[in-house]
Each structure stands twice: as structure tokens, then as C-alpha cells.
Structure 1
């Protein structure tokens, strides 16, 4: 088993582009690449090219009629009459030119990551363009056209007969992946997210535990709005090891949305960069312990592209590629000089947020108590070692 990590990337990923005003901005990928190179964390030898997912691969999860509609919508001048019935052409998920090709490449990137890890060529693989966890069998949703996480998991099931643990730490519930495997005891979906009370998609309740043979293999940890680092990490460290050791996966797939940060404009959690150092650290340790290190990591949400996403994903890559970073490592001056003139906010000077820069949350004790109760309920029905 190789000790190396693969970084799946192509400039063609930037073709997944809705419009100038859309919050899903792929500039964050370019900024992350530049930051990683500025920190000497990413070399050309790490980079592997993605490939297009085939129709058969997409059909492992997606309805062929939906795939046909996506193709047509990306090659039609004006609106496709049936697009709205497939969730396309909405404010969240507008249609764009060559939509099928752009999204199939992202899906293929995550499949490629699976192939590289399962073959033993790499121990871990990262596809930051992936993490499109809201896509459904026959419908686009929440900025996601095809669901690369679901397709990759289905690919791992079909070609490797692998038991898959899916860990989703995006602030939004990983609904598309959960429902795709809701009755499958060989896929355990675990999502840590802001409660759906005030946030899209409104699902991810503690009572969503799976169906039929899959009962107990869907685990949700909905955290209260304004949850801070300590409570967030307490939930993560309480639930994930128990679930992982009880399930005993053959491979781990993670979705690493970084919109739980207090700066994110679309969510209401209050985490700092600290959680993005801890998230991959525990996932990697459990992969090493339980499945010979087999870990595929994807990106996901993250809408403060200036202060949060590049730093969070740099920490993810540093951990999975075995490169340690100091707590107060400065962001390179050249990177700040390049992007500060473009940024509407002051860029962060260090990779992690300094201690004590965020004001305390008034309801902290109440939020912490609520989250502890949620963790206890989540642990009641999950697999245990």
C-alpha cells in the first residue's frame, strides 16, 4: 500500500460555472491551488488528472432520463421546456453551457480518486471539485447537478464490493447521499450539519436512521445554530469513532464542505479554522486503523472564498498528504498581494484563526447542552464495535 496522496485536478473543473452572481464560485479552486503551491504543500508529482464519468457510471445513481435532460439543457439556446421538472434552470441550480460535460468530469474525478486508492497506487486521494452531495437520482438541487459522492460510492460497491463509510461535515445536510443509500446496510452515511430548522435542505433530523436492512446505517448529528469549535468537535469526536469502529468499513469517503466557519455567508454556525485541521486528522487516523488507510476526500460547500475555503482545504490536503503545518504559519505575502486587491474583505494573515478573535456567543451553554443531547440520541441507534 502506497503512502502517497493524490490530488485530482484539471483546469477544466472551472467550466462548472453558473454565473457571475452565483455563490458557488470555482475561483476558490484556483485560490486553493495557488495557496498550496505558495506554502510548498503541492507539487506536480501529486497531481492526477480526472476523467469523464461514463453514462453507465452516472446511471449507477442517476436516472437515464435525467442524464438526457442535463445533456440537452447544456446544449440548448434558451430554457429547455422540461428543465424545471428536473430541478434545472432554478435560482439555485441554473443551466449553463456544456453542463453535462463539466459535471461528468467532476464525477469522473471522484471515481478516479477511488480507482487510485483501491488499486493501492495511493493511500489517500483528494478531489476538491467534488462533494456535490445534494444531487438526486432524477433532480438537481442545491448547486449540484450530478452527485459525485453517490456515484463514487455506488462505483465502490459495484466494482470492489466495498463497505463504505461516508462522512459529511458540510454545514448543509448530505441529503442526496443519504437518500441514495437509505436502505443499504453496506453504506453508512454520517452527516454533521447545522439543524435544518433554518437552513437548506431542511433534512438531516436525528430520526432519519435508514430503512429496512439499512436501518441504523444513516446517522445524523444536527447541530444548533451558532455552534462553536468546542461543541462541534465534541460531537465529531464522540460520534465518528464509535460509528466507524462499529461499522468496520473497507474504505472511507469524506465530504469536506467548509461552510461551518463563522465567516460563511450562507450558514449560521460559528466554527473557526481549528475544526478544519481536526476533521481530516481523525478521519485519516480511523482510515489507517480500520481500512489500511483507504480514504477518498471531496470538497463541497464553502462560500467565503476569500478567507475560509483556501485555508480550510489547504489544511485538508496538508493532513492527508502527511505534511504538518505550524499553528501560526503565515499565509504567503505573494498570495495576499495577488488576491487582496480582488477581495471585498481583509484576507487572513495566518493559516489558522488566532485564538479569541471571534466574539463569544450569548447562548453558548444552551447550545452546548442541546448538542450534547443530540449526540446522545445519535449514538443510541448507530453501529457499535
Structure 2
């Protein structure tokens, strides 16, 4: 029997959307759509206040880096001119939209669905809960970190910020320590629901920060929750672990952390072209082994090609490793409609591939984590649909008990995608330019559907099979 646990809430989504590359809306749109489709009712546990102590981050990251990053001087509203390339004020835009919708439909949200109207209120809520968890201590500010002296100079990005790569795509932003501790905690707290009696399927769509390194941030990733999750699993004697990464970008941070481990298998399916970030993940990086597996692809990968990769390469390699735990990074930046416009995977196709892995390795605990994806309206659809697939296939709570079978939004109009509209909810107007259609990015004849040239060949798969001895 599978036990389903997900970490998500108004609080977590608003904290996650402090991250600038989320456009201050990606996580909130996903959480609201999950609620609109009543999917959280299908889970055995929904974690609403995730958190990880600073000391727990040291299980992978260096003390010097964590002391600088998890610092109370960043747990406040920072001067806007510290990062004039990002507009933090956008964070509050969805709040007004939700208020207008609730007023329009005469709906008073329950207490657990009420949004925080300011980042200060969000942080105060965070602190009040920490006080309860830590018996009144403020664990957000440790004695061994730099103390904010209250002057403007304390915000100046010094040489250490550059050393830790806290600039460019990894800027310091307001309440950065809270963001790191909440989104990382959302992954690690899933572990508390492991038990010998049940197979755990744990989900954190705000996780999967696979680029962060031991001593520096990289690629929008500050804390590598994947590595920390694997380290924690090993502590509880779950040693045979496979990490499978579908993000468009190479999972370099996770691979580097375990490149010499025989117990940890890392498999990354990604685009590998000159100048494409992070520039790693070639076959040479794999060194011909079965535990460090790179599957470098070209422009235009589609569902059928990914399925070939899965059946001919990934499945045989995972079979040989025989993992006790399978961690899947469900990045959506390879989806048709993503800003990168490099691959043409569909929401249904990628979701089916992921579900097939969960079914195939039925004895392994499963962790599904988020990742890249830079079309927020598309990503909310993807994570909602994938969550629905998980719930329908594996929920021990009968799907029918939640009245979802009477209004099955993804099957009732199988032959006409245009009839499947986004359900009414507080952010439905965000989808108005897409005519509220759920499948607009993969509907035949849709202006949003674009067919790319697929540069990947079957001969490439044969070459990969020979390289890995399959």
C-alpha cells in the first residue's frame, strides 16, 4: 500500500514565490489549482509548515556558506537598490486578484486559505511558528552568524557574496534565509512519514534544487535539497538510491555530490549543446559507469523519443541498481510552451513517463520534486495534472470518496481538449489570454502549439546503449 504525502500550503507557496525566477507567482498558481481540483483531499498527509534547522543544512553544505546565507540580516525587507535587476514588489500582485475574486463570488476563505498581505506578515507568521516549534527560541538567528549592525553598509554585497555566487541568477533577495529553510524543509519533512509498513510517495513541487553546490549557489538554486534528502535517507540505512532528473538542464550539483558513490545512482536526461547551462553532462562526464549516468540530448526531444530513452536505457540501468528509493526531479522546462522552447514534451506525455516509473518500481519509496519551468501558467497545469495522476493511481483514500469521479476533469472530454477549461478559482483570470483552456499548449490547431524539429535520432540511442553496455 502506498502512503501519499505532499508539502504545500498558502504559507509555503508565498514563501516559495519570494524566489525571483518564480515570477512571484509560480508556486501560488500551482497551489491554488491543486485546491481548485480538490486534489489535496486524496493525500494521507498535507504538510503546511515545513522548516529545517540551520544545523541540518550542514549535512551537505559548508559552514562558511551557510553562515553567510542563513543570516538574520537578510530576513527582512532589503533596500530595492541592492538588486535593481529584480522587481520584488510583484510579490503582492496576486493578493489583490484573490481578494477581488473572493469579493465577486461572495466567498470568505477559511483561515488556512487566507493569504498573507505582506512579506512582513509572512515572516511574523514564520517566526511565531518557530517559537512554538523551538520552545520559544528564535532559531532563525544563530549566535555564530554575522550580526546585522543596522547600517546600510551591512547590505553591500561583499567579496564573499561573489565567492558564494550570490549574484546574477542567484541574487540575495528579501527573506532569503526563510525561503531556504522553508522550501528545503518541505523536502526533508517528507521523511518523517516513512514507515516499514507503507510505501511512501512524497511530493514537494517547490523542491528539486539540483544545481546548488556544497559551497555556492548556482542556477536559481541556493540549497541542494536533493543531496540533503539522500544524505538523510542514508542515515536511516536506505542506501540503494536512484536519482532520476528530467529537467532540461543537467543535474550537476547532485551528480557531483555522489560521483564516487557505488550506492547512489544519478541519472540525468538533459539538453547538451555548446553554451547551454550548466555546460556539463556529456558522456565523458559519465566515465562509462552505471551509477553516474548522463543522457545528453539535442533540440526538439518529444514524448516518443523520451519513451524510447526510458525503455531502452533508463529502465535497464535502474533495474540493475535495484533501488530502495527512487527520487524523480520533475522539471518542466522541457515542456512544449516553456520559455526555453528547446524540447516539445507534453504535460500528458511527461506525466505518463513519470507515473510508469512509479509503477515499475513498486517496492521503492518515491519522492517527486519540482525543478525548472519558466512558463508559470504551464507549470501550474503540469504539476496539477501530475498530482492528479499520482492520486488516481496510488491514493489509498478512495478517489470516489472525494466526489472527483463525478467531475473527472481530464477524462470526460477525451476527444475534445477544447472542452476542458480551467476550473473556476481565485486566479482563473490569469489564464484568460489562453482562453482558459487546460490543454492549449498541445491542442491541434492551437496558436500556442508549436512543432519543433527533432534533432535526436534513433542512432543516438543505439550509441548510448553501447556506451552503457546495454
- Residue 121 of structure 1 deviates from its aligned partner by 5.5
C-alpha contact (below 8 Å) 1:131/1:148 kept by paired residues: yes
Contact 1:12 1:102 in 2 (8 A): no
- The unaligned stretches of length 5 or more in structure 2 are 76-147, 149-153, 394-407
Q: Structure 2 residue aligned with 1:228, among 290, 302, 308?
A: 302
CA-to-aligned-CA distance 1:44-83 (integer Å, 9 cap, x gap):
7541235322334312211111101102362565234111
2:446 matches 1:379: no
Aligned residue in 1 for 2:229: 152
1:262 Cα deviation after fit? 2.3
1:383 to 1:355, Cα distance in 2 relative to 1, 3 A: farther
Q: Paired residue for 2:189?
A: 112
Give 3-state SS (helix, strand or coil) of 1:191's partner. Answer: strand
Question: 1:177-231: per-residue Cα shift (whole Å, max 9, x none)?
Answer: 11110111111001111114242111111221169xxx43111111111222222
1:4 alignment partner, SS class:
strand
CA contact (8 A) 1:226 1:268 kept: yes
Q: 1:322-346 CA distances to partner (integer Å, 9 max, x unpaired)? A: 35842548233414x8333576655
**C-alpha distance 120-62 of structure 1, shift in aligned 2 (>3 A):** farther
Partner SS for 1:149: helix
Q: Which has the larger radius of gyration?
A: 2
8 Å contact from structure 1 (residues 277, 316) kept in 2: yes
Structure 1: tracts of 5 or more residues without a match? none
Matches within 5 A, 1:146-295: 146-209=223-286, 215-288=289-362, 292-295=363-366
Q: Using the alignment, how far apart are the partners of 2:281 and 2:168 within structure 1? A: 23
Structure 1 length-normalised TM:
0.86
| Distance change >3 Å, CA 68–CA 47, structure 1 → 2 | same
Compared CA separation, residues 343 and 141, structure 1 to 2 (3 A): farther
Q: Distance in 1 between matches of 2:191 and 2:244?
A: 15
Map residues 345-360 of structure 1 onto 2, 5 A cutoff.
346-350=435-439, 353-355=442-444, 357=446, 358-360=449-451
* Residue in structure 2 matched with residue 340 of structure 1 by the alignment: 429
Which has the higher mean CA deviation after the structures are superposed, 133-142 or 325-334? 325-334
Query: What is the number of equivalent residue pairs in this alignment?
Result: 367
Q: CA RMSD in A?
A: 2.7
SS in 2 for 1:368: coil
Give the Cα separation in 1 of the matches to 2:366 and 2:436: 31
Q: Deviations over 1:100-125 (max 9, x none)?
A: 23212222221122332355556311
Asked if the contact 2:300–2:456 (Cα under 8 Å) also holds between the matched residues in 1, the reply is no
**Any idea what the Cα deviations from partners look like across 1:26-47, whole Å, max 9, x if unmatched?**
5222222222222232227541
Alignment partner of 1:12 is 2:22: no
Aligned to 1:79: 156
Shift of 1:261: 1.2
Q: Which moves more between the two structures, 40-49 or 217-226?
A: 40-49
Contact 1:7 1:125 in 2 (8 A): yes
